[in-house]
Amino acid sequence: MNILRRVLMLGLAVSLTACATGGSTSAPPKPADDAQAVNTYLIGVDDQLQITVWHNPDLSVSVPVRPDGRITVPLIGDVSAGGRTPEQVSTEIRDKLQAYVRDPQVAVILTALRSHEYLSRVRVTGAVRSPISIPYRQGMTVLDAVLAAGGTTEFAAPDRTELYRRGANGADTTSYAVRLEKILQQGDLANNYPVQPGDVITVPQRAF
């Protein structure tokens, strides 16, 4: 379970050091480590949580986040989970359980990230054979995404490809230049960047 959590959560950390909107930079930053990803992920509606209270199996449950953003935990009732991190939810459950359990040790683990499936997709648009929206997968690169879209068309200008990435605040978008022709024709992987959830890759057409 720990391995599954680490793999799932690594793909959901989007950590940007550039704050320009629409500006190009040479290379996107590497994803944050998995520990930071787990601590910063905000729980959403329909996410599935495993609540574990050590040495108290009767209090350990697997619950979905309801439309009101809450979950129900034995003994203490409803706890707000939507829009909070697993650590914050764990702390609240622990504090409330102290009225019933001596020194409770609580772990909150995300077992299904249903609320962010749409937001975490990678999209390829422009002069590709089949513009596509695909689920993010750990280890996915620009080349993987473009190949999933059927490759470029004869009208493409692949070396003017851009990778667009939204900032952590959800507002700023940074673009990264991708020399896609060098990747496809020469096997030069210098710009074959790892993609992150929510990335958009756009291949422009040639100017005639």
Task: Provide φ and ψ at 66, rounded to 5°.
Answer: -75, 165
> 42-112: what CATH class?
alpha beta
pLDDT in tens, 55-97: 999 999 999 999 889 999 999 999 999 989 999 999 999 999 9
Positive or negative torsion for Cα 154, 155, 156, 159 = positive
Q: Given this model, what pLDDT does residue 133 score?
A: 92
Q: Identify the residue with better confidence: 23 or 194.
A: 194
SS3 27: coil
Tell me the residue length of the chain. Answer: 208
Highest mean pLDDT among 20-24, 163-167, 183-187: 183-187
DSSP state of 158: G
> Which strand (E) or helix (H) includes residue 25?
strand 24-25
Extract the tokens encoding 162: 């851009």
Pick the CATH number of 24-30+119-203 from 3.30.70.270, 3.10.560.10, 3.90.1150.10, 3.40.470.10: 3.10.560.10
Positive or negative torsion for Cα 91, 86, 73, 50 = negative
State how far the Cα of 152 lies from the Cα of 130, in Å rounded to an integer: 9
User: In the chain, what are the domain boundaries?
Assistant: 24-30+119-203, 42-112
Contact between 34 and 6 (Cβ < 8 Å) = yes
State how far the Cα of 133 lies from the Cα of 84, in Å rounded to an integer: 28
Q: Given this model, what pLDDT does residue 58 score?
A: 92
Q: Please state the pTM of the whole predicted model.
A: 0.52
